[in-house]
Structure 1
Amino acid sequence: MAPTAALLLLLSLASVCFPAAAEETLVFVTVLFRHGDRSPVRAYPTDPYQESSWPQGFGQLSQEGMRQHFELGQFLRSRYGNLLNGSYDRHEISVRSTDYDRTLMSAEANLAGLYPPSGGQVFNPSLKWQPIPVHTVPQSEERLLLFPRNDCPRYTQLVNETEHTEEVLNITAEYWDFIEFVNNKTGLKNTGVDSMWGVYDTLFCESRHNMTPPDWVTPDVQQKLRVLKDFSFQIMFGIYKRVEKSRLQGGMLLGEIVKNLSKMAAPDPQQRLKLKMLSAHDTTIAALQSSLNVYSGKQPPYASCHIFELHRDDNGSASVSMFFRNDSGAAPYPVQLPGCPLRCPLEDFVRLTQPSVSQDRDKECQLPSEGRDKEILLILALSAGALLLLIALLLAVVCWRREPMAARGYQHVLNQEGGGDDS
């Protein structure tokens, strides 16, 4: 047999025995990111830098934060240039933010990097920017992007129970002298492990903006505050009954993301959405990652970004890949859902995340005793109603038997109601 014919035979056999894998195409992306660098949200009582020390006041995005998100937008453009149009198309992207200045402004700075105007979208030749809508809802109505939500009695109970676990009590005992030291230096009262994050955050923001710290803030103090700050995140979302906490917190956002992934997996020529962008907070990312059971236990840094990519192959099968970008100088690293490969089949992704997604959060948020009390009251009410109905029927039978046979009828009943012989 000629070498060429033999090679063709081998290739044919290989194609039969080892069929080519179906080619996959990226069809949809969801990105959740934390806002950029900001001023502290508050100052402790003895802090030399109160709100007047900050150009825009507390909790506001800094120019560094704007640059961080402009750069993240450029990264998203380079990563998803083949998925998105080169110019802004309102059908391709949906942007939602919490109703905070810093998250709204982060989204806008991000979009400036993602969609620099060109051609007919340039409305001012000296301005490399174009307005793109960012949607939000009032903070009081935000149920998807703002965590922890304190509208859930059961979650509050779980956090209280967490604070009495052996792990938390041991950390509290280990750092008790340090906590009292910090309270004394800051002028704070009655604070514990879960409150140290506020002191750390204030000092961290001040250090990033070249403000001289008080003498008591040594590297050792900063390190201990950092440990307690990270531990406070775990108290909120992990350590104790993590899955149940997730169902009441980050599981709400996870459920929405899973629903969107499932919807976008079905081929639909009319569907043009390619990118869902969510601008939120460190606790939003921590809550979501905890519900996925991939949270590292560390506070997500400024402009960190959790990415969900939906791929679809020629056979119509879909898969989900996750990535986390927590360093603007490095590429995002892959995140593996426990129990699934990095490229997780969509049906498996849905199945594995389902325990963290509540089907009726309002019901699950009720305290167990409260739920039982309502159930008991309902049973008592139904029982009382049935008893009254039975008594009424018995009285009717008694009255019916006492009446003369010839007098029984509708007319006599009317007379009886008006005070007849038997009344």
Structure 2
Amino acid sequence: MYNAWDIADTIYIEQIYNKTPSWANESVQKTLSDINDASFHFLYLNNDSKRIRGGPLIQDICMNMNNSTREQTYRKVKMYSAHDTTISATLAFLGINYPHQPKYASALFLDLYKQNSTYYVKVEYLNVTDSNKAYPYLLNGCSAFECPLETFTAIYQPRFPASVEVECTKKVPPTPPNNANNKKLTVILCTIVFVLGILIVGTFGYFYCRKRERDAPLLSNGSFSQIA
């Protein structure tokens, strides 16, 4: 399922250039697209995958915005070039995760505004190829499209990943033993061993009896006459 994009992308390009094979009809393309969209959605459902894959980019953007408000940087624009999976991960980290593969030339905008003495962040997503219109998103925890930078930072900063060394050395706690399941497993294994034992003994007994029948001497005609 997670490799569905490989086929879906190929068919999509072939459709653009009118090179689609005969089997890739409209129904097949719709099914491929649905599977592909679902794979992108489930790729970042886990909180750790959102944090590790999408967190670093938002962390960098958030740091740059805060530095700008303190006049520690004078850059007006910072652009990132990335893959569709990067956009999906970043959207998922922001809480904008719905089943879709970002189209070619998709773009995610995070703009910093200043009104009076307050700074605001606005998130917009251009999710189509043949349009220049980006759509604003209302982030969870914000009351308007223009979210105060202080609020934006407070929402997402606790979710930012630690250093690579820390993240890669985290250990998953061991799963506590389940005695009930262990007992069930023991009973099942014993039953399987018992049944296999009976089958093996029965098989050997069958072939042993057949071998004795083949090796036993046949009675001659003379023997029959003597018995008579």
TM > 0.5 fold call: yes
Q: Give 1:364 shift.
A: 2.2
Match of 2:38 in 1: 231
Alpha-carbon distance, 1:318 to partner: 1.1
Letter in 2 for 1:323: E
Other-structure match for 2:218: none
Indicate the residue corresponding to 1:393 in structure 2.
none
Aligned to 2:66: 262
Whole-angstrom distance in 2 between the partners of 1:260 and 1:272? 10
Deviation, structure 1 residue 264: 0.9
Q: 1:290 aligns with which of 83, 86, 92?
A: 92
CA contact 1:311–1:319 (8 Å) conserved in 2:
yes
Distance 1:344 1:252 in 2: 20
SS in structure 1 of the partner of residue 80 of structure 2:
strand
Give unpaired runs (5+ residues) of structure 1: 1-192, 373-423
Does the aligned pair in 2 maintain the 1:292–1:356 contact within 8 Å?
no
Q: Which of residues 140, 154, 168 in structure 2 aligns to 1:365?
A: 168
Distance 1:226 1:339 in 2: 32
Deviation at 1:368?
2.0
Structure 1 Cα separation of the partners of residues 74 and 154 of structure 2: 27
Q: Secondary structure at the match of 2:75?
A: coil
Q: How many residues align?
A: 172
- The corresponding residue for 1:197 is 5
Alignment of 1:69-218 (within 5 A): 193-211=1-19, 213-218=20-25
Match of 1:347 among 126, 132, 150: 150
CA distance in 1, matches of 2:157, 2:37: 27
Taking only aligned residues, the RMSD between alpha carbons, in angstroms, comes to 2.0
Task: Report if the CA contact (8 A) 2:41-2:97 is conserved.
Answer: no
Residues 248 and 361 in structure 1, CA contact (< 8 A), matched pair in contact too: no
Alignment partner, residue 53 of structure 2: 249
Which residue of structure 2 lines up, in the alignment, with residue 326 of structure 1? 127
Task: Supply the AA of the counterpart residue of 1:236.
Answer: L
Residue 273 of structure 1: CA displacement?
1.1
Report the 3-state secondary structure (helix = DSSP H, G, I; strand = E; otherwise coil) of the residue aligned with 1:320. Answer: strand
Aligned-partner residue type, residue 34 of structure 2: V
* Contact preservation (8 Å) 1:248, 1:365: no
User: Do the aligned partners of 1:247 and 1:361 also contact (CA within 8 Å) in 2?
Assistant: no
SS class of match (1:253): helix
Displacement of 1:330 in angstroms is: 4.7
Between the aligned partners of 2:123 and 2:34, the Cα distance in structure 1 is 27
Which residue identity is paired with 1:194?
Y
CA deviation digits over 1:343-365, x for unaligned, max 9? 11111101111243112343223
Partner of 1:312, secondary structure, is: strand
Instruction: Give the match's secondary structure for 2:60.
Output: helix
Provide the C-alpha distance between the structure 2 equivalents of 1:360 and 1:330, rounded to a whole number of angstroms.
Answer: 37
What's the CA shift string for 1:260-284, capped at 9, x where partnerless? 111112246xx43111011111111
Equivalent residue, structure 1, for 2:116? 314
With the length of structure 1 as denominator, give the TM-score of the two structures: 0.38
3-state DSSP of counterpart to 2:97: coil
Which residue of structure 2 aligns with residue 55 of structure 1?
Answer: none
Work out whether residues 285 and 300 of structure 1, in 8 Å CA contact, stay in contact via their aligned partners in 2. yes
